[in-house]
Amino acid sequence: MAYANKTITNPVNGQTITFLQTAADTDGQLLEMQSRYKAGSKEPPLHYHPGQDEDFIIESGEMHVKINGQVKICKAGDTLHIPTNTPHAMWNAGPQPAQINWKVRPALNMEQFFEQITGLAADGKTNSAGRPPFLQTALTANYFSNVFRMSKPSFPVQKLIFSLVAPIAYLFGYKSFYKKYSD
């Protein structure tokens, strides 16, 4: 369970997230985090949040942001607002570690999403890019579709495919949510 000052670290991509204010602290209105990215991190998949806005302050280093089909570099002191339903990706391609303050409104269950993805990586259940196998991705993406959606294929296509493969994923022992990652 996320709580103020809890830090989680993804051993695959080196990203750390420290929860500053959680859904429980803010009556669900805000999730505030401080995140650190190692230098030279890789670009994550383009994604969007269907019911949340994100605000970032670059505290140190630089962050590359893909938004509206263009890549921009945000440096220390820069701010960035990403509205609901806006496809984007953020990473640190720079030579130094980067640190950001990150706010998500409303919080919904975004903190559990981060705990699940980080837990899968820590247990060796992702590839070298930090992505879980397809069957796990199908279950996780379905479970957290209220806070995280991949940009491609379209959401209706994702729902259809993931719903079709879900029974197979469960047969192979995958779960939509692992309680141990959010304890």
- Which among 70, 105, 140 is the end of a domain? 105
Quote the pLDDT of residue 163. Answer: 94
Per cent of the chain over pLDDT 70 is 100
Quick check: is 177 in a domain?
Answer: yes
Query: Do 37 and 101 share a domain, yes or no?
Result: yes
Task: For residues 50 and 8, give the distance between their C-alpha atoms in angstroms, rounded to a whole number.
Answer: 24
- Model pTM? 0.94
Query: Do 57 and 15 share a domain, yes or no?
Result: yes
Quick check: is 24 in a domain?
Answer: yes
Query: Do 11 and 101 share a domain, yes or no?
Result: yes
What CATH number is associated with residue 48?
A: 2.60.120.10
For residue 11, what are the contacts with CB-CB under 8 A and spacing of at least 6? 121, 122
42-84 confidence digits (pLDDT tens): 899 999 999 999 999 999 999 999 998 899 999 999 999 999 9
**Average pLDDT value for residue range 103-130:** 95
Q: Which two tokens stand for residue 31?
A: 């999730």
- Kindly indicate the confidence band of residue 130, based on its pLDDT and cuts at 50, 70 and 90: confident
How many structural domains does the chain have?
2
Task: For residues 150 and 135, give the distance between their C-alpha atoms in angstroms, rounded to a whole number.
Answer: 15
Domain ranges, residue 155: 111-182
pLDDT of residue 183 exceeding 90: no
- Kindly indicate the confidence band of residue 128, based on its pLDDT and cuts at 50, 70 and 90: confident
155-173 confidence digits (pLDDT tens): 999 999 999 999 999 999 9
